[in-house]
Amino acid sequence: MPHPRFAATLTACAACASLVLASPALAQPGTATIMADNGALMVMETSPGQYNVIPASVAGIWPKMHTFAFDLPDDAQGLRSCKLHIIAWGDGAVRQGLVAHVAGPAAFTYTGAPNGPLNKVRLSSVTHPGTTAAGQAMASTNAGAAAIINGAAPLGQLYMSPTIASGGSGWGNYTLPALTQASELRFVWDGTGQTLNANPRNYRVVSMPCTGIANPVEPTAMKGDHFQCYQVMEGQALKPEQITLRDQFGRKQVVLGKPVYMCNPTVKTHGKKTYEVERPERHLVCYDIIRQPPPRRPIRVQTGDQFTSQQMTLGGSRIVCVPSSKKRLDGNDLPLK
């Protein structure tokens, strides 16, 4: 098991950019077009019980089809736990229905697709006061969306209209947006064609896994030296003085203590790929942070390296690593070549 401070090396290293080297933001693009009689929006479930309304989706109001973009996770773990939910509602009085088209880098689906997940409309036990605006107000909060989704009943009877392009859907003729298979889009709802006015104040939900439209992105090898860090068993503490650190998470003042790690540039072989050392003279010395402001809140990030891409939750910083020279005192260094 690694030393507890080692787990924080990447998150706290103020001067070791070569360890993580400015990895780009890891996300995949998704797009959706939704419309409901009378309103709809999309929610991403990032992990079981964690629901986030996609702000750009909160405009799917009758009679306009609304197209928006959103980000999908690109790591296998994030995709496996990710679901997309579309919540739809009526105005509490008249005929109701939903049309949707959702696309990612790998695939797309839509209401009306053969055996498509968006055809499976579920009736939620949660109701709204009976107007389009009131329905949107309740559904557009994360807590409200969670209650609606969790209150959706198991799949019951389904309704699917004729294609919108045919003019026989019952919702009039539309100039459809330029979507793949747009001519096959249909309105869906729960029940039968004779019961579209039933339960007019109850929300409806359709759901699909993010893996239905996206695949994991292979980890990206970032340029820069790798380091192997050795625990410092004996070293001198620094003179206590306040220094200022500023990184992509913020700015703060800290006091450093003893050296806790010395890191060598390292040749690494992973599978058939060998990563050579570019700057053999550049080492790192990592100092313990003994005084700093309390962390404000956990930070969520997504990282990518030669091993994997993954999502992490970060706590407070623990060490600061600075570039250093090194001379071995009990023998000679081994060659890296």
Per this entry, what is the length of the chain? 337
Structure-token pair, residue 28:
């995949």
Q: Give the separation between CA 209 and CA 81, rounded to whole angstroms.
A: 8
* Exposed / middle / buried, residue 307 (Cβ in 10 Å: 0-12, 13-18, 19+): exposed
Q: Give the separation between CA 215 and CA 74, rounded to whole angstroms.
A: 7
Can you give the pLDDT at residue 266? 96
- Tell me which residue has tokens 């091993």: 307
Regions of the chain with pLDDT less than 70: 1-26, 60, 192-195, 219-221
C-alpha separations of 225 from 297, 311, 320, 323 in Å: 31, 23, 18, 12
Can you give the pLDDT at residue 194? 58
Q: pLDDT digit string (tens) for 9-57?
A: 333 343 333 333 333 345 789 999 999 999 999 999 999 999 999 999 9
Nearest 5°: the CA angle 95, 101, 104 is 155
Structure-token pair, residue 185:
């889009």
Can you give the pLDDT at residue 42? 98
Can you give the pLDDT at residue 22? 34
Can you give the pLDDT at residue 195? 65
Can you give the pLDDT at residue 193? 53
AA letter at 212: G
Can you give the pLDDT at residue 26? 53
pTM above 0.85, yes or no: no
Beta-carbon contacts of residue 208 (< 8 Å; ≥ 6 apart):
83, 84, 102, 109, 117, 118
